[in-house]
Structure 1
Amino acid sequence: MLKVEDIHVYYGAIHAIKGISLEVPQGKIVTLIGANGAGKTTTLNTICGLTKPKSGKIFFEGKDITGVDTQNIVRLGLTQVPEGRRIFANMPVYENLELGAFLNKDKKQVAQDMERVYARFPRLLERKHQLAGSLSGGEQQMLAMGRALMSRPKLLLLDEPSMGLSPILVKEIFSIIKELNEQGTTILLVEQNAKMALSIADKGYVVETGRIVMAGDAQELLESPEVKKAYLGG
């Protein structure tokens, strides 16, 4: 579904991404793991058009989307849930969700999608008129994911969904990610919690200083001595 070929990204003179290539097959969960500053978020931002690569190609469903602007990438069915959630704190929950559907002019469809999001995240329904900034961290993450689902994504890019959450909420968010995948959404997941990410993923890539240093079946990476030593505290 997604193919990234040898992308190079620079921030001024800094060579942030040094020839990353990866593939996300349809219907799978693929995860990028690695330390802070390894280039995981930059990779996601480049895929969804927020950052332009200096060279390399990005294909989504066989179509070259390199350099296409973000709005048109969302139209194609590729949506990102950004790191830090980026919700609109001074707007109520339901307005945040409506913004996720800004490209959809079919009001009936938007209303149906809203019902689906509320069914998946009952807490958002309970708090639909509350200001988004008054929600807990876990609820804000659910809101960010719900808002992304309003755009009817075929591929969901999730950037550090567990960041700042309690262990119990981390489990909840990961089980939601797995459910979304089981219902047909393909997922590219960036996570510092390597153990959780690899436990639900089909395939994993290890990113270090802008390069992919290991790739393979998620279960194999979970059991790899190098990955255990570097990322799993063993």
Structure 2
Amino acid sequence: MLKVENLNVYYGAIHALKGLSFEVNKGEIVTLIGANGAGKTTTLHTVSGLLKPTEGSISLLDKTITGVEAHKILGMGMAQVPEGRRVFAKMTVQENLEMGAFLRTDKAEIEESYENIYKKFPRLKERRKQLAGTMSGGEQQMLAMGRALMSKPDILLMDEPSMGLAPILVKEIFDTIVEVNKQGVTVLLVEQNAHMALSIADRAYVLETGKIVLEGNAKELLNHEDVKKAYLG
């Protein structure tokens, strides 16, 4: 579904991604794990069109999306749940969800999507008239996921969904990622909580200073000595 080949990205003189290549197949949960500054978020931003690579190619469903603007990539079936949630704080829950559907015109199906989101996240339904900025971190993470799902994506990019959340909420968010995946949405997950990420993913790539240093079946990497030492404590 998603193919990334020889991606090179610079921030000024800093070479952030160095010849990165990976792929995500339809129906998978694939995770990128690595320490802070390894290039995980840069990878997602480049794939979703927020950053332009110096070199390399990205294709989505066999269409080249390298250099395509982010809003056009969204229309091609890819949505992103950004790091830090980034909900529209001064808009209500319902208005945030509306923003997720802004490229869609099918009113009956949009209504159906609202119902599905509210079924998945009952707390959002209870708070649909509440300003998003007044909600807890966990609720905002649910809203950010709901907003992305309102675009009816084929593939969902998730950036650090567990960041700043209490352990009980982290489990809830990860359970939801699995559920969304079971309903047919492919997931590319970037996560510092390597244990949680590897426990739900099919495959994983380990990033270090902009390069992939390990890849394989997620359950196998969970038991890999180097991964245990570096990321699982």
1:121 corresponds to which letter in structure 2?
A: F
2:143 equivalent to 1:143: yes
Alpha-carbon distance, 1:105 to partner: 1.7
- Alpha-carbon deviations, 1:30-70, whole Å to 9, x = none? 00000011100000000010000000000111111100111
Provide the residue aligned with 2:45 in structure 1: 45
Per the alignment, in what secondary structure is the counterpart of residue 151 of structure 1? coil
Counterparts of 1:31 and 1:200 in 2: how far apart (Å)?
9
Per the alignment, in what secondary structure is the counterpart of residue 35 of structure 2? coil
Q: Structure 2 matches for 1:12-161, cutoff 5 A?
A: 12-161=12-161
Alpha-carbon distance, 1:112 to partner: 1.3
The ranges of structure 1 where at least 4 consecutive aligned residues each deviate by more than 3 angstroms after the TM superposition are none
Q: TM-score, normalised by structure 2?
A: 0.99
Alpha-carbon distance, 1:106 to partner: 2.1
Per the alignment, in what secondary structure is the counterpart of residue 157 of structure 2? strand
2:167 corresponds to which letter in structure 1?
A: P
Per the alignment, in what secondary structure is the counterpart of residue 7 of structure 1? strand
Per the alignment, in what secondary structure is the counterpart of residue 115 of structure 2? helix
Counterparts of 2:130 and 2:59 in 1: how far apart (Å)?
39
2:29 corresponds to which letter in structure 1?
A: I
**How high is the sequence identity, in percent, across the aligned residues?**
67
Counterparts of 2:12 and 2:3 in 1: how far apart (Å)?
26
- Alpha-carbon deviations, 1:78-100, whole Å to 9, x = none? 01000000001111100000000
Counterparts of 1:108 and 1:181 in 2: how far apart (Å)?
23
Q: Structure 2 matches for 1:159-170, cutoff 5 A?
A: 159-170=159-170
Counterparts of 2:49 and 2:100 in 1: how far apart (Å)?
17
Q: TM-score, normalised by structure 1?
A: 0.99
In the alignment of these two chains, the number of paired residues is 233
Alpha-carbon distance, 1:107 to partner: 2.0
Provide the residue aligned with 2:226 in structure 1: 226
Counterparts of 1:161 and 1:122 in 2: how far apart (Å)?
19
Counterparts of 1:61 and 1:8 in 2: how far apart (Å)?
21
Counterparts of 1:196 and 1:121 in 2: how far apart (Å)?
21
Superposition RMSD on alpha carbons, in Å? 0.5
Alpha-carbon distance, 1:109 to partner: 1.8
Specify every segment of 5 or more residues in structure 2 that has no aligned partner in the other structure, as ranges: none
Provide the residue aligned with 1:214 in structure 2: 214
Per the alignment, in what secondary structure is the counterpart of residue 226 of structure 1? helix
Alpha-carbon distance, 1:211 to partner: 0.5
